[in-house]
Amino acid sequence: MIVVTGGARSGKSAHVEGLVARQYSQVLYIATSTVTDDEMAARIARHRAQRPAHWRTLECYRDLDAVIRQQVQPGEAVVIECITTLLANLLYDASGGADPDTLDFDALENGLQQQIDALITACQQTRAPVYIVTNELGMSITPENRLARHFVDIAGRANQKLARAAEEVWLVVSGIGVKIK
């Protein structure tokens, strides 16, 4: 398991795609974004266009442990892009879009962290190399609203779990990847 982290627009995706393309011809690309508006549709289209056309793509964000166990083919590497988006989608689904002041963030985080724990277990059990992209949210200011603060906390703890379990961790800054583990 290889984790690649960095800020938004830091070059994480390009870094991972370069690492993978140099070593593997067969790749399962798990895209966790969903189209929510025209701007997001354009972002997803740009990401699709920059990936090699022969890579297989699955667009999903739930139960990635089962996806890894059931979908990975022999000789294939896996790219998961990205954990931060996965967590945002899962948090929205679990909260139902309710007012943040009414949410039990401990219970919500417990469910999200169970998904991360199951993903880590699946990554450790598969023979396929799994490259995981995630945003480092802890290098910014503390958000002003409650939902965003809790999301940064949840993502930070998930990233720490992933990094502890990973064989390698890369930090990408301004398009330059630095191996930190």
Q: Which residues are identified as catalytic?
A: 47
Q: How far apart are CA 162 and CA 130, in angstroms?
A: 11
Phi/psi-derived region of residue 75, left when phi > 0, alpha when psi is between -120 and 50, beta in every other case:
left
- Which 3-state string (H, E, C) describes 145-169? CHHHHHHHHHHHHHHHHHHHHCCEE
Q: How far apart are CA 96 and CA 101, in angstroms?
A: 13
Q: How far apart are CA 79 and CA 118, in angstroms?
A: 16
Q: Which residues in the chain belong to E strands, given as ranges? A: 2-6, 27-31, 56-59, 77-81, 130-135, 168-173, 176-179
Q: How far apart are CA 19 and CA 45, in angstroms?
A: 21
Q: How far apart are CA 80 and CA 130, in angstroms?
A: 7
- Closest Cα to residue 64, out of 77, 83, 47? 83
